[in-house]
Structure 1
């Protein structure tokens, strides 16, 4: 009833998943920066998430982790699980999973799905992962999920999708959770998930240091006038920007004495 990918990029690990299932993100994904990622599905054993990460933390390979998880589970024939770590990716599909069910795995990924329209779903996901090499992990995961969705995905239909990525220090306030986004109930959840990632990057993305504009001259005059229109009048532009950004949720893009062109565009749009 689900298709997913677990993938890695250096110390970053993530999961992208979609299903005809309410709030699939509450059940399937687990990921930890610098360690690995797990996707548990079909008749999902949610204990696989914590237990899988614990096994990886204890030094088990992805293959050993899957072997241990399934050996200790009497319901393994109905389960499906994908694990990726520094040792590579491993995908397991129990023989009693509803057709079509299966998976693929490589050095830095594992894709798997059950109750799919056919094997073409995981084939498309694997191909999209390969062709997106060099892009950020989040975009590679989305590319694979979108390809699986376009290939037909879950044969029962669409309902939810989710994305979880851990990267050391890349989350809000220096947390290791870079992305944790869910579309719990939507007629077209995968494109909606892509929209959420785009919004996340708008609000929380790192500004390009080479593109920052000094707050002086004509730039400073424009920024002061735009802020005044939004009710933030005064002389200290850094303080005014800080006040505005705190309400508009762009504080992660602020840098003293300069302005991110992305932020300037939002000011021009009158974002409050």
Structure 2
């Protein structure tokens, strides 16, 4: 899943020690969450920057993600950037490639992807999957996200994990003979922060329960982030990133 959200600073995600001149009426955040019945999905599929989010799936080609983000940073629109990359890709028929930028969305599923495969495009988000138990998996992810879209009380990272959990509960990846799985999420915001939230870049690289483990990791990382804010906002220690 790839998501773009516009939000105001006081949205429940603590923005630590910002100077007044750094503040703005609103900011933009992008996120990707993904899970599969293979190890290490976080090293291959999610690509996020301040100008967009991209996921490369099915027969993964990491170059599509890396170059796609670079094209967005150069000012290309998401549809132009990703279509150009696919046009030059000999493996196009086996690819899934989707994402969002500041103005639009793009989703592609090649005709040689493995059933069930397909994608869904919503308002400011995309969902895609292959080797799924059925279309209802993608629909469940989309519905779970839409139910909390732009929720000012919950960080995007938390809501992305919940969307993955909804798809997993619906059946998820159909390859039950592959027990070792993985999950990952990444969120990037253009909001200036003294300390970036630890819970915005998380991976579970090898587990039989990756979505549940990602949820637990998120909760611990968020608590750790809040502990750091309490400790260093009080001036107890020097900058934690100096350690």
TM over 0.5: yes
Structure with greater helix percent:
1
Q: Show the 5 A alignment for 1:2-151.
A: 5-10=1-6, 11-33=28-50, 35-135=51-151, 136-151=155-170
How much has 1:129 moved relative to structure 2? 1.1
Q: Structure 1's 170 and 143: CA in aligned 2 closer, same or farther, altered over 3 A?
A: farther
Q: Return 5+ residue gaps in structure 1 as ranges.
A: 206-249, 259-272
Quick check: 1:164–1:179 contact (8 Å CA) kept in 2? yes
Aligned match of 1:196: 217
Q: Structure 1's 131 and 120: CA in aligned 2 closer, same or farther, altered over 3 A?
A: same
Question: Is 1:256 paired with 2:234?
Answer: yes
Aligned match of 2:203: 182
How much has 1:18 moved relative to structure 2? 0.3
What is the DSSP-based 3-state SS (H/G/I as helix, E as strand, rest coil) of the residue aligned with 2:82?
helix
Alpha-carbon deviations, 1:207-247, whole Å to 9, x = none?
xxxxxxxxxxxxxxxxxxxxxxxxxxxxxxxxxxxxxxxxx
Aligned match of 1:210: none
RMSD: 2.0
How much has 1:253 moved relative to structure 2? 2.2
Is the deviation greater in 94-103 or in 104-113? 104-113
What is the TM-score normalised by the length of structure 1?
A: 0.72
State how far apart, in whole Å, the 2-side matches of 1:66 and 1:147 are. 28
Q: Structure 1's 257 and 38: CA in aligned 2 closer, same or farther, altered over 3 A?
A: closer
Q: Structure 1's 187 and 256: CA in aligned 2 closer, same or farther, altered over 3 A?
A: same
State how far apart, in whole Å, the 2-side matches of 1:88 and 1:63 are. 8
Q: How many residues align?
A: 208
Alpha-carbon deviations, 1:190-213, whole Å to 9, x = none?
0110111111110113xxxxxxxx
Aligned match of 1:164: 186
Q: Structure 1's 257 and 25: CA in aligned 2 closer, same or farther, altered over 3 A?
A: closer
Quick check: 1:169–1:175 contact (8 Å CA) kept in 2? no
Aligned match of 1:231: none
What is the DSSP-based 3-state SS (H/G/I as helix, E as strand, rest coil) of the residue aligned with 1:184?
strand
Quick check: 1:43–1:79 contact (8 Å CA) kept in 2? yes
Tell which structure's C-alpha radius of gyration is larger. 1
| Superposition misfits of 4+ residues, deviation over 4 angstroms | 175-178
Q: Structure 1's 257 and 81: CA in aligned 2 closer, same or farther, altered over 3 A?
A: closer
What is the DSSP-based 3-state SS (H/G/I as helix, E as strand, rest coil) of the residue aligned with 1:185?
strand
State how far apart, in whole Å, the 1-side matches of 2:49 and 2:209 are. 28
